[in-house]
Every structure is written in structure tokens, then in C-alpha cells.
Copies of this chain bind each other. A is one copy, B any other.
Amino acid sequence: MRASDRAYVTLLDEIQSGVLAPGAVIGEVEQSVRLGVSRTPMREAIGRLVTDGLIRQQSARVLVVTGFDVDDIESLFEARRSLEEAAARLAAVRGYSETFSSLADAFDTAHPERGVLAADAYYTLIERFDAAIDAAVNNVYLVQALRNTRTHLARARRLARDNQDRLVASTAEHALIARAIAEGNADLAAHATHVHLHHALRSILASITADTPGTATSPTNLTPKGQS
């Protein structure tokens, strides 16, 4: 693995997980020393993160981790709505019935209510689902945009703790979407996606607004509105 890739993956994970909080200053030398690579691959890694929108230039000489507030989450879901509805529609008409039928079965028989371990299984399934969508959509431009949203979605997920009830409901929603795609029902696939995103957003926002006033729980790294 190249040094620039290691640096990128490490920083990406640290930003997504909140180890590097919004507003944290990213200095080339500081980070390259810390991660044990030279400035050249570090610059490449930082450049990629800037393109991703996870780091932004605050002034001519200072890079900071991008803020991520409630408004950003709402923007993100606006974008997801557009992209994932289109993706679901396209997947439904591309004829990958077997793949999505099998995925629907997997979602049907998943039991995320059975504790923490099952939550990992849930996210593994989601990954499989996303990969299947990407393959079925077969459109580099759309898939590129979808992947970008997932990069930011990881930050939103971290702010909202996994909720057992929500995981169960989301599993059922995905089963419906997968089934609709398998059956070639583009309208249902798109509308079920819309409904799913509605619930997912509501759940995330509820989780955050329940936390933020308290401050007593674990640190959220949620950027105050309007400074992202």
C-alpha cells in the first residue's frame, strides 16, 4: 500500500469517526510527522480529502476539518434523495432480479434486534446492497456521486447512535426496496427509497436533538449551526 493511501485512509477514518473534530487545523508537516510519511504523499492525501469536502481551506495557509451540522445533514439527505431514487429506478429496469431477490431474502431473515453483534451484520448487508446498486446502475457519473454522499453519511451515522428499533425498521425498508427492484417495479423502488430516507433522516435528527442539549453523554462533535 502506498504511503499516500495510508495517510488518506487514516485521516479519512479519523475525520469520519470524529477523532479529528470539525475545525481541527490540518498542517502538512504536523500530520506527515504524526503518520510517518513525508510531505509529498501527505499533500496528496490532503488534496483528496479537500476534494471529498472533508477538509476545506479556511484561509490562504490553513486547512481545517469541515464542519458538519444539522443543516449539512439535511443537505446531504436532499442529495441522497435525488441520487438514490434515481439509482433505485435504474436498478429496477436493468434486470438484476436474482441479485436483489437474494438481497431481499437476506434483509427479511436479518435480525438486528438481537443485540450489538447483529448491528455489524446489518452494516455488512447495507454494504452488499450499496455495491449491488452500484453494479446494477452501471453509470459512472451517478455512482461517483453516490459514493461521495456515502463518505459524508458516515459522519452523520456517527453523530446519531445506532438505535435498535431503527435498525429493525431500516432492515424492513431495505427488504422492500430490494424486492421492488427485483420485480422491476421502478416506481415502488423509488418511492420506497424516498420513504426510507425520510425515516432515516428523522431518526438521525431525533437522535441528535435528543443529545445536544444534555451534553452529559459522549461528545458529539456536532458543529453548531452555520459555521460549517
Give the distance in Å from the alpha carbon of A43 to the alpha carbon of B148 in the complex.
22
Give the distance in Å from the alpha carbon of A48 to the alpha carbon of B51 in the complex.
8
Please judge, given known A-B contacts A53-B144, A149-B141, whether A82 and B79 are in contact too, CB under 8 Å.
Answer: no
Chain B contacts for A72, CB-based, 8 A: 140
Minimum distance in angstroms from A23 CB to a CB of chain B = 17
Chain B contacts for A85, CB-based, 8 A: 82
Please judge, given known A-B contacts A78-B139, A142-B82, whether A51 and B51 are in contact too, CB under 8 Å.
Answer: yes
* Chain A 98-153 residues near chain B, CB threshold 8 A: 138-142, 144-145, 148-149, 152
A interface, over-half SS: helix
Count of interface residues, chain A, beta-carbon cutoff 8 Å = 28
Q: Tell me if B86 and A82 are in contact (CB < 8 A).
A: yes
Minimum distance in angstroms from A142 CB to a CB of chain B = 5
Q: Tell which of B47, B51, B75, B90 touches A140, judged by Cβ atoms closer than 8 Å.
A: B75
Q: Tell me if B47 and A141 are in contact (CB < 8 A).
A: no
Minimum distance in angstroms from A16 CB to a CB of chain B = 15
Chain B contacts for A140, CB-based, 8 A: 53, 72, 75
Give the distance in Å from the alpha carbon of A72 to the alpha carbon of B79 in the complex.
22
Please judge, given known A-B contacts A75-B139, A90-B78, A139-B75, whether A83 and B145 are in contact too, CB under 8 Å.
Answer: yes
Can you list 29 A-B contacts with CB-CB less than 8 angstroms, sorted by A residue number? Answer: A40-B40, A43-B44, A44-B44, A51-B51, A53-B140, A53-B141, A53-B144, A72-B140, A75-B140, A78-B86, A78-B90, A78-B139, A78-B141, A78-B142, A79-B139, A79-B141, A79-B142, A79-B145, A81-B86, A82-B82, A82-B83, A82-B85, A82-B86, A82-B142, A83-B83, A141-B148, A141-B149, A141-B152, A144-B148
Starting from the known contacts A78-B86, A78-B139, A79-B86, 6 additional A-B residue pairs (CB-CB under 8 Å) come to A48-B51, A75-B140, A75-B141, A79-B145, A82-B86, A141-B152
Which residues from chain A sit less than 8 Å from chain B, CB to CB?
A: 40, 43-44, 47-48, 51, 53, 72, 75-76, 78-79, 81-83, 85-86, 90, 138-142, 144-145, 148-149, 152
